Chain A
């Protein structure tokens, strides 16, 4: 696991939002850590556990159970291919495969240059525009095969 340096002040400012010794804030605090650093950084989790007074194992059992959390740093652009049912029957698998071979990563992975993270997501609730792909949270609807290759090559 690569550990980039985590700014202790930023961690502290997250911790102050949660009452000391109250474990029920765990999921929210992890979400805040993920939002702040882009991933659930080990160092931050260790501090959080001290603060909430819970064992490290519990924090990691929660962090690995929920899909929202990543223990690895993510790429600059997070590409999320929606694979909800509506997207699936309108060809989202083809889009995921296309991106996977273009970027040479499996869904869930990040390119070596940390430029892109490819993810699949169960449903973003924008089914009427299926298939949907989100670039850093900006949705693009009715995506046709080939369009993403053009977009990424054009943007590189």
Chain B
């Protein structure tokens, strides 16, 4: 049913809330990409089957829904039972009967399905008490995991589209822009450009045809918050975009989504259709006369299309090459019209700012980086997943308090932030407050929020090589410094990793990086040397070991080390021999095992499974 006024929105939301209140218990199954991969659809079907067969809906006043990503993907599939807040992880379809019998019918908690704190070894019953969640402050992710993203009523029940109603009926466009400016919101996609200022310039541009776009081309490897928002709360993104369109005076827009995110496309498409049907998109939104509509543009798998001018070319069906930005895209963007482009997380923040007020947002975080930021905390950390925290929190708090520290309590070596344009920070920088400016000063950057934790078994030269390879593949080839310069940097680092490094290589890298930074056309090239410069700055001795001693201390660059099982430590458990894909480990049970180095492929499987850390790098 179409909603034509604020009043009818309030009524619809009230009805949706009433539906929810009627329920005494609610079972939520996470159906984000991570949990789906772990089999959460089977779990959901098992629940639906049990609910139908045993008529639980009527007996228990039970509600059931699949939600977006809870962020704690590693422990999936996740099942949450409300209002008790019981949190079960690693649930399999065969556990469903027990959950119904014990928890739903008898109110008993099943211990073995509870999360166990890896450090205290304590089982934790409540969702909210798990350190991974308790330290978070969720704004952009506010509804994710609570609502069924495919159901617009569920979204209305938690206050969806009230920000839009307020903006359209109580605020002038310029007041919306002022609110966003006062909130201090900066672009969450990497650049950190003040959102309010972007909107203002676009509004003031002369051309009457304007576009408002959403960048969901989350290309930074290791970051998946935008995917999660599009999958888990697509209406928040749409609501933000309509508010933005109202503010700048646009009537058409696109969401540019990565080809690799099929579920995000599906949920966004469904949300767009529902929003049109209800009158939150299309003509005469909420009966105010304002019109704005959105279409999805699917990307073609090119990292450079995350860059604004390349993205706009791609939306227009062209090859996604950036252009020099003497004139910014807020003046001449898509089809040469004034265009506002913000990323998914930025848009998801906008409705909250309008409903809760700019001051509430600005009171969080630091002075120049207000609000919260979502990070994808991944790599060699115990609790991996999505975390949203106030800006200014330290890296240590994120990695140790929320992340629970390094897997197997190995030594921390570095943390990579900002994707291929960012850098690696060492242990000495762990107490740095995380915000746009301090990260940049330290030689890294916020980027879109990837945070990849590395332990002593990560080779920093290899990490630099990895990013350079990525950028060589993804450079569009339009400008020479990026196309040729990054290629040369990659060749040099490749040689170092292969054991062919030469004295003077590091100096050559630094000189060439300087040219690439200064002379490249777009941000991809300008920031391409960051990974190598930051690792050189903080981990130079590792490069020197590769070049001068022909050694890879971390045991990653395969030409530069061999594995050996320490006879003093090996307890003869035999796990290594079992895991070896080339059968090159020999030894009797309870006796010292030996690796045949001539056959060994240095895959590290033995080192990963060894319970006593007997596999050494020499």
**Which residues on A are within 8 Å of B, measured CB to CB?**
23-28, 30-31, 61-62, 65-69, 83-91, 94, 97-98, 121-130, 132, 137-141, 144-146, 149
B466 touching A65, Cβ below 8 Å = no
Known: A27-B300, A66-B301, A68-B259. A126 touches B33 (CB 8 A): yes
A62 touching B37, Cβ below 8 Å = no
Q: How far is the CA of A38 from the CA of B69 in the complex (A)?
A: 30
CB of A69 to closest CB in B, whole Å? 7
Kindly supply a per-residue 1/0 record for chain B positions 34-47, scoring 1 wherever the CB is within 8 Å of any chain A CB and 0 otherwise. 10111000000000
CB of B352 closer than 8 Å to a CB of A: no
B452 touching A89, Cβ below 8 Å = yes
A85 touching B416, Cβ below 8 Å = yes
Q: How far is the CA of A50 from the CA of B482 in the complex (A)?
A: 36
Kindly supply a per-residue 1/0 record for chain B positions 286-310, scoring 1 wherever the CB is within 8 Å of any chain A CB and 0 otherwise. 0000000000011111110000000
8 CB contacts below 8 A, A to B, read A27-B317, A66-B320, A67-B300, A90-B380, A98-B581, A126-B37, A141-B37, A145-B603
Considering only CB atoms, which chain B residue lies closest to A83 in the complex?
A: B221
CB of B143 closer than 8 Å to a CB of A: no
B317 touching A24, Cβ below 8 Å = yes
The residues of A that contact B385 with a CB separation of less than 8 Å are 128
The residues of B that contact A138 with a CB separation of less than 8 Å are 37
A130 touching B604, Cβ below 8 Å = no
Kindly supply a per-residue 1/0 record for chain B positions 203-237, scoring 1 wherever the CB is within 8 Å of any chain A CB and 0 otherwise. 00000000000000011111110011000000000
The residues of A that contact B152 with a CB separation of less than 8 Å are none
A146 touching B579, Cβ below 8 Å = yes
13 further A-B contacts with Cβ under 8 Å, apart from A124-B260, A146-B579, are A65-B300, A69-B300, A85-B221, A86-B222, A86-B384, A122-B474, A127-B452, A128-B384, A129-B37, A139-B37, A144-B579, A144-B605, A144-B608
Known: A23-B317, A28-B298, A146-B580. A94 touches B603 (CB 8 A): yes
CB of B549 closer than 8 Å to a CB of A: no
The residues of A that contact B33 with a CB separation of less than 8 Å are 124-126, 139
B604 touching A94, Cβ below 8 Å = yes
A125 touching B224, Cβ below 8 Å = yes
The residues of A that contact B303 with a CB separation of less than 8 Å are 122
Kindly supply a per-residue 1/0 record for chain B positions 374-406, scoring 1 wherever the CB is within 8 Å of any chain A CB and 0 otherwise. 001011100011000000000000000000000
CB of B611 closer than 8 Å to a CB of A: no
CB contact list, B560-618 vs A, under 8 A: 579-581, 601, 603-605, 608
- Contact partner, A68, options B74, B300, B315, B450, Cβ 8 Å: B300
